[in-house]
Amino acid sequence: MFATMIRRPHNSLRPPRSMRRAAMAAIVVGCGLVSWALAAPNNETARDVGRPNLVFILADDIGYGDFGCYGATKIKTPNIDRLAAEGRRFTDAHSPSAVCTPTRYALMTGEYAWRKPGTGILPGTAALIIEPGRLTVPALLKRAGYTTGVVGKWHLGLGAASPTDYNGVIQPGPREVGFDYVWLLPATGDRTPCVWIENHRVVGLDPADPIRLDYSIERGHPLSYVNGIPRIGRQIGGKAALWKDDEIADVLTSKAVAFIEKHKDRPFFLYFATHDIHVPRVPHARFRGTSRAGVRGDVVQELDWSVGEVLKVLDRLGLADHTLVMVTSDNGGVLDTNGPDHVNSGTVETNNGHLHNGPLRGNKGSPYEGGTRVPFVARWPGHVKPGTSAALICHVDLLATAAAITGQTLPHDAGPDSFNILPALLGDDRDRPCREHLVEHANRLALRVGTWKYIAPGPARKAKRAKRSVENGELYDLANDLGETTNLAAQQPERVEQMAALLQRIRAGGRSRP
């Protein structure tokens, strides 16, 4: 039964059969390509049909059941549903972590965040946690001639040392790890500072009213309020630069669209990290009350509008066929707790029967599937195979996949946990899965091997005590028990032992890909 653990996964460096198929597809559509290239005489590097634009849309706190194409009925997501219908919908895709910062770290670097201390949820005063010069997704794509942009939530720290000084040139930041253009919400919507950053500077900052942050002030304290909403950390100063909460989606979407318009003639990579649907949930008035699942449902529909605007500009500029669009979430869905610290915008009551994580157990932060199994839809007409895929994939795979798409060899020391999932996108993974295993990261580590899942006991940092793991872990058969209702650890100690040992090897080895 563990034969699958031994079979070699797709070698992430060797151009797989799927690439050869892509090359064939390029020949088949060659006539169209030639006419397209001729129609764009200004494009000095005539676009290779196998080298698409990449648009990675990372929503925040969207659950497995939040989109129509994943079963939602009280929330309408026609644009994301259209993307799924025209592309591939994955049913076993995972965020690298059950919370925000470690997911984003892993997405950018191809390294599981739990390998690196200091990658937990960051305050708005944190320094940059990605080493400048490291091979990240945008740095890799720049090597292939891409123009790279990040629009939206960063939450990976800014500046060389904490506390970040927001009043001058803010660096290092995204520009120093590979992005040409930067428009940021620096930390989270519910953390200070509540200002935009463009490239290296806060937008609209009055030098006479400098920004200072006090993270000893907790959310809910009278001094924690910005724009009438309690935040984590007090913001002093920067009044002229404050964002307007109900305009966050509009601002980010317009910046994403503008980036695409500006760089339409060259291959580009856009990392569009939305604030929706994280708290505070403050939809624009035109979305308020439009869903049947309360404000939380309304902001899902606002997110769907943002995705629709991106699809629209790709259509309008004739780029849809040359663009791989992916939409997913940074962790599983969650409802608000009823407390003074929270904006009460998504509760069991307001959800009105909507199951934000579908049939899954657990929420954001949990080692159960509801923590990291998220929607993932991808479209690249003529390449990504339309339909549904049960392949096990993860956002940490973006680095190796971007390397494969652009014909680059990933250096051995880069992206130690990143597998090339291009075969899964192309529907060319039937004989051999891209991933044999995946580590799910929450307050405990869990290991997936196929549809089996082992959850180590205790906090993640203590899980290396493998003996204890064997004694106390949890084991689930997701093929027959997706809701993780029956712990089989006591019945199948051998499988527990093997999976615990593999998890230990992955931890100790410092890498999990070949």
Stretch that binds Ca ion, among 88-96, 165-173, 305-313, 331-339 (CB under 5 A): 331-339
Nearest approach in angstroms of CB 56 to Ca ion is: 15
In what helix (H) or strand (E) does residue 509 lie, and over which residues does it extend?
helix 493-509
Closer Cβ to Ca ion, 18 or 329, answer by number: 329
The nearer residue to Ca ion, 154 or 181, going by C-beta atoms, is 154
CB closer to Ca ion out of 82 and 395: 395
Spell 163-185 as b/e; 16+ CB within 10 A means b. ebbbbeebbbbbbbbbbbbbbbb
- Does 190 engage in binding with Ca ion (CB under 5 A)? no
276 binds Ca ion (CB under 5 A): no
- Sign of torsion over alpha carbons 495, 103, 52, 375: positive
272 vs 380, which CB is nearer to Ca ion? 272
Map tokens 């998504």 to a residue.
Answer: 346
Closest by CA position to 381, among listed 325, 336, 431, 328: 325
Q: What is the set of active-site residues?
A: 100, 155
Pick 104 or 495: Cβ nearer Ca ion: 104
Q: Does 273 bind Ca ion (CB under 5 A)?
A: no
100 is a contact residue toward Ca ion (CB under 5 A):
yes
Which lies closer to Ca ion via its Cβ, residue 304 or residue 428? 304
**Cα–Cα distance for residue pair 98/319, rounded to 1 Å:** 33
- Give the dihedral of Cα atoms 291, 293, 297, 298; nearest 10 deg: 40
330 is an interface residue for Ca ion by CB under 5 A: yes
The one-letter amino acid at 496: V
Query: In the bound complex, what is the minimum distance in angstroms from residue 61's beta carbon to Ca ion?
Result: 4
From residue 370 to residue 409, the character string flagging contacts with Ca ion as x (rule: CB under 5 A) and all else as - is ----------------------------------------
CA-CA distance, 397 to 12, in Å (whole number)?
10
- Two tokens, residue 91: 């049913």
440 is a contact residue toward Ca ion (CB under 5 A)? no
Residue 92 binds to Ca ion (criterion: CB under 5 A): no
| Closest CB 372 distance from Ca ion, rounded Å | 11
Nearer to Ca ion, 100 or 360 (CB): 100
Q: At what angle do helices 294-316 and 78-86 cross, to 10 degrees?
A: 50
Options 39-47, 95-103, 179-187, 200-208: segment touching Ca ion (CB under 5 A): 95-103
For position 299 contacting Ca ion by CB under 5 A, the verdict is no
Size of the site for Ca ion (CB under 5 A): 5
Taking the C-alpha atoms of residue 198 and residue 201, their distance in angstroms, rounded to an integer, is 6
What would the x/- binding string for Ca ion be over residues 34 to 63, using CB under 5 A? --------------------------xx--
Q: How far is the CB of 265 from Ca ion (least distance, A)?
A: 34
The yes or no reply on residue 176 touching Ca ion (CB under 5 A) is no
Is residue 359 reached through a cis peptide bond, with omega within 30 degrees of 0 on the bond before it?
A: no
Closest CA to 476 of 491, 461, 459: 491
In angstroms, what is the minimal distance from the CB of 97 to Ca ion?
9
**CA–CA dist 258, 264 (Å, integer):** 10
336 binds Ca ion (CB under 5 A): no
Distance CA(499)–CA(392), nearest Å, equals 17
**Residues 79, 235, 331, 401: which binds Ca ion (CB under 5 A)?**
331
How far apart are CB 58 and Ca ion at their closest, in Å?
A: 9
- Distances from the Cα of 385 to the Cαs of 313, 352, 377, in angstroms? 23, 35, 11
Where do contacts with Ca ion occur on this chain (CB under 5 A)? 60-61, 100, 330-331
